[in-house]
Structure 1
Amino acid sequence: MNRKGQSFAAGAATLMAAALIVKVIGMLFKIPLTRMLGGEGMGYYMTAYSIFNPICALCVAGFPVAVSRLTAASLANHRREEPRRILTAALLLFLPMGLLCSAGIYLAAPFFVRIVGNEAALGAVRAIAPAVFFCCISAVFRGYYEGGRNMVPTAVSQVVEASVKLGAGIFCAMRCLETELGHFTAGEPVCGVTVSSLEEAQMVIAPYAAAAAIIGVTVSTLAGCLALALAYFGEPHTGSDRIGAAGMIHYSKNLLVTALPVCAGALVVNLSSFVDLMSVINRLNCAVSLGWEALCRSHPQAGLERMEAERVGNFLFGSYSGLAMTVFHLVPAITASLGVCALPLIASLAARGSRAQLRRTVESVLRITVIVALPLGLGMSCMAGQILQLLFSSNPEEVSVAAVLLRPLGVAAVFVAVSGCINSMLQALGHVLVPVRLMLCGAAVKFGINWALIARPSINILGAPWGTLCCYLTMTLLGCAALERASGGQINLAAIFAKPLAASLLCCAAAVGCCRLLASWPQWAATLAAVGAAGAVYLIAVLLLGALREEDMELLPRRTKIRKDR
């Protein structure tokens, strides 16, 4: 392992660049997949993901945090041989959990899909089960490298995984569609069912095509795992990574003390998507029965009145999770790198007892997160329709639903980014149970809002993004108070948000104004020009307003040496 490691800024830049590449590849995957599957097929696809994510989080999310924190502390205290032993102990400890969870998802899939009211998603849920095991291996290796502040292997594995998902997922879904539509054209049964029209054939094929796309996703997790393993075995190592029984007990105890609360916390975070899965379709069915006409009027361009009533819930859920949430996740994906890089940095400062520098670094990390997240989130909110139309132009009905949902989700994305960064720093400081409590509070808020609003026919699916916004706003406010106590310094959220917010509002005004001035242009060209103009205005505003402070610059590569407390 590289002893020196990357600086905070270099590591964050590496992961941000990887996140952008992964998101671009993800869009190249999701756009044609949505065209092939439509809102209904995406409902089956996202049902599998919504079941997979919390279970995967239960056995995966804590691994990189635990390994990264212990590795960072070992290197800070000049115990250079420990990281490889920690990695060995983590692999021996956590891989059986991955096997059990993979088997559990596969065997319990019929039960899961019955509970969520989407039994046609059974094939997709079973197809994603093996991915948990491969994610476990990847998580342990990523924690090893991130603890040594080497973000390159993590970044490379993420790009490899996304690239394989694009190729394998589209190929599998396309082959399934072409084969079964060929059967329909030849007058043969489609997926074993005799159909009388193309529309009926597409309805029958949709769950199978979604399962085929998920097979591509599972293959991609194997590819990401292999990329990390090859990086590890391809680098020179000194010393032994063997550990005896006493060493295994020692490392296992330390790993579990950190990993289990983080896993529980990540389960609650992903539980927000599981809350959506458990409540949205069921409450939408209530809205359909309580006021069909009012529900149809709330989405006049979606053509809901032409659908069968039992299909409407899955269509709206697919438009929400497959389109709006796809764009929404762009901001947390980019800013997550800040939390990943902050964790070993904060852990090292805490291990050295650098309290004054710790307080300055906490506030700087939060300020940088806000500077990155605010323009992305607010820009997404004010240009929701244009962005979705640019990405999913062949799905106008789904876009008409998703555009309304993305506006509150854009604001929510800012608080997702900030709360995620707060949780990483709390975990680095050893307060691993605090994020769990915060997330439980947020999940309770989300469930209550979903349950109260979605069943109202005039609100229906719009209740879900408002539940997400209130969930993460609650977590941010409570988390900031917890971080103040943990770091021993006051955090002025108003000061952190003020200047980036002013710059972001100027950015949004530039985007909206540019779209209006270029109304005669093709929509795609006007949207891209507006995004470019907004970005330029934001950068200028950040510099003129002095949003970045001198202490923030200490995280840049030229000034990474930790100052001694005075």
Structure 2
Amino acid sequence: MANDHHPAHRVQAGLWKGAAVLGGAAVVSKLLGTLQKIPLQNLAGDAAFGIYNIVYPIYILILTLATAGFPIVVSAFVAERLKDGRPGDARRVLAVAAGVLAVSSLLFFVLLYGGADLLAGWLDSPKTAPAIRSVAYALLLVPLLAVLRGYFQGRGDMVPTAVSQVAEQLVRVAVMLTLLLYYVRLGAGADRIAAGAMTGSAAGAAAGFLVMAVYWRRRTRAAQGCPARPAPTEPLGPLAWRFLKAAVPVALGSLVLPLLTMADSLTLPGLLRAQGWDEAGRLYAIGLYNHGQPLVQLVALVATSLSAALVPAMAEAKMLGAEEVRRRAYAILHFTWVVGGAAAVGLVSLAIPLNVMFYESPEGSTAMALIGSSALFSAVNLVTGSLLVGLGALRAPAVHLFAAVGLKLALNAALVPLWGINGAALSTVAAYALAAGLNLWALQRRTSLVLPAGAFLGRPLAALAVMAAALLLLQLIFGEFPASGIAEDARLAQTALALGGVGGGAAVYAVCLFRFRVITRSRLAELPKGGDKLVSLAERLRLLPKT
């Protein structure tokens, strides 16, 4: 018991508590950011939804270029100087980073705002220009917000970052919905409505910055009563150079995933125009194409939440030996495959009722089903990438994503002229499958991990097949009930079908996982928390025989 009070244990507990706070805030923020897209389409229509989905990936790419790497490096530099007893130099790191990002954020704002019409022309979508100008304002604040977050994280205080993340998303969604309702009531065009929606990003950034400023002010006031703080000793010029040398490579490496999501923004409008689509038709089609993205992102959110804990877990396993690394990697991959496979099959099987439930119309359901199937590969890619990073293979996931970007661009050029948005959806599936496959190959080479065909293919696929058959039967029986008088409103009926399918499919799949021995008593018992209780529950439900 005494060991719990050892400084090392207190530090480790603090680190895990901080990671949990940040992880929880990230989940809430991403959930809000993902779900906001559904009311956008419902209120504004697919043309405005298409504009939003062309512009937003470009904003994320530029934002990543402007800020990615800086919070991490600020955090590391601040923590290092505080550890060495140099708080003055820690504050100087903040000043250097803020100065660098103030210049870069102003530069990117001028380029994006002033070049909005030119960029919209390159995208073959002139109606995106107002939205590009609206989102440019966020670039004035987000980089400085990122620096402040990095500074507090370097001091071991994760709460300001977590609170500001949630505040940023809440204000962003609130402003977006308010302006949506305002412009829709005015009868504004799709370009004006989408620009109003993008204004939410700037408002959210302002809210997040205000929260961080309040925390900074509180900290400054608290420090006024303390003894005089030592002045900085580190020369400004060499510090700025070392900071940039550390931050720029991280920022460039972080560009890969936004590049993959931006591939459609760069290629789809031009490819559709070449097929004879006018601008209104192109934007409408791109809106339909993106119906499935929020649902896949929800699945990825689960994988991302898991991934946050994987890097330290695998680093710890590496110190315990190769066998422990293989054991943990196997368990994590098995869980990802079981959950990701079910999500993919569910999104494919229920594409039409889910499409009507969320977006009112069955249009684009084929593309939605195809994109839904990428949920499995997206989850595997995220998890295997985190496993590789935890094992020290820092560059491999980025290299594999670069290969996926190349495949995505090539397949878009080949398939969109043949099948339109369905071709783009197929290329998305192929790109994520390639990234996941390469990550898995690299992981197996690095760890000598063996994935038995029965455990990873045969039995799980049998369970997924039964689940898919059950969902198909459910739709055959109840798919026509609006016409039978059970429900007058088709959307309400499809919503009931979708929700019933999710619940019923999950129940059937759970039973099959036990019956086909995908999940066993020993696997449940190995869980670190609540394993015995889950075994007991499975016995009461007769999913496991009583011992």
Letter of the 1:123 counterpart = P
Task: Give the match for residue 271 of structure 2.
Answer: 283
Task: Give the match for residue 178 of structure 2.
Answer: 171
Pair 1:41 & 2:48 matched: yes
Task: Give the match for residue 296 of structure 2.
Answer: 328
Q: Tell me, in whole angstroms, the C-alpha distance in 1 between the residues paired with 2:132 and 2:302.
A: 27
Q: 1:367 to 1:41 in 2, by over 3 A?
A: same
How far 1:383 moved relative to its partner?
0.8
Task: Give the match for residue 344 of structure 2.
Answer: 377
Pair 1:316 & 2:285 matched: yes
How many residue pairs are counted as aligned between the two chains?
Answer: 502
3-state DSSP class of the match of 1:490? coil
* 8 A Cα contact 1:67 1:255, kept in partner: no
Q: TM-score, normalised by structure 1?
A: 0.74
Sequence identity percentage: 25
Q: 1:341 to 1:231 in 2, by over 3 A?
A: farther
Task: Give the match for residue 271 of structure 1.
Answer: 259
Letter of the 1:32 counterpart = P
Q: 1:12 to 1:280 in 2, by over 3 A?
A: farther
Q: 1:453 to 1:59 in 2, by over 3 A?
A: same
Deviations 1:422-473 (A, max 9, x none): 33343444433323321221111111110011122xx111111111111111
Pair 1:53 & 2:60 matched: yes
How far 1:341 moved relative to its partner?
2.4
Task: Please list, as runs of the form range in 1=range in 2, the aligned pairs for 1:396-435 lying within 5 A after superposition.
Answer: 396=361, 399-401=362-364, 403-435=365-397
Select the residue among 35, 39, 55 that pairs with 1:32. Answer: 39
Task: Give the match for residue 207 of structure 1.
Answer: 191
Q: TM-score, normalised by structure 2?
A: 0.76
Pair 1:127 & 2:134 matched: yes
Task: Give the match for residue 420 of structure 2.
Answer: 460
Task: Please list, as runs of the form range in 1=range in 2, the aligned pairs for 1:441-480 lying within 5 A after superposition.
Answer: 441-456=403-418, 459-480=419-440
Letter of the 1:53 counterpart = I
Q: 1:114 to 1:347 in 2, by over 3 A?
A: farther
Q: 1:79 to 1:137 in 2, by over 3 A?
A: same
Deviations 1:498-556 (A, max 9, x none): 35544444443443333444443522222212211222333444455354896898774
Structure number with the bigger relative contact order (C-alpha 8 A, sep ≥ 6) is 1
* 8 A Cα contact 2:86 2:232, kept in partner: no
Q: Tell me, in whole angstroms, the C-alpha distance in 2 between the residues paired with 1:553 and 1:108.
A: 59
Task: Please list, as runs of the form range in 1=range in 2, the aligned pairs for 1:525-536 lying within 5 A after superposition.
Answer: 525-536=496-507
3-state DSSP class of the match of 1:276? helix
Structure 2: unaligned runs, 5 residues or longer: 1-6, 487-492, 532-547
Structure 1: unaligned runs, 5 residues or longer: 182-201, 290-308, 560-566
How far 1:385 moved relative to its partner?
1.1
Task: Give the match for residue 342 of structure 1.
Answer: 310
3-state DSSP class of the match of 1:431? coil
* 8 A Cα contact 1:11 1:149, kept in partner: no
Task: Give the match for residue 3 of structure 1.
Answer: 11
* 8 A Cα contact 2:94 2:148, kept in partner: no
Q: Tell me, in whole angstroms, the C-alpha distance in 2 between the residues paired with 1:428 and 1:129.
A: 35
Pair 1:95 & 2:101 matched: yes
Task: Please list, as runs of the form range in 1=range in 2, the aligned pairs for 1:80-91 lying within 5 A after superposition.
Answer: 89=93
3-state DSSP class of the match of 2:12? coil
Select the residue among 380, 395, 398 that pairs with 1:436. Answer: 398
Task: Give the match for residue 222 of structure 1.
Answer: 206
3-state DSSP class of the match of 1:162? helix
* 8 A Cα contact 2:416 2:423, kept in partner: yes
Q: 1:382 to 1:126 in 2, by over 3 A?
A: same
Deviations 1:179-233 (A, max 9, x none): 4x4xxxxxxxxxxxxxxxxxxxx5xx22112111111122123334544665687
Task: Give the match for residue 367 of structure 1.
Answer: 334
3-state DSSP class of the match of 2:417? coil
Q: 1:207 to 1:371 in 2, by over 3 A?
A: same
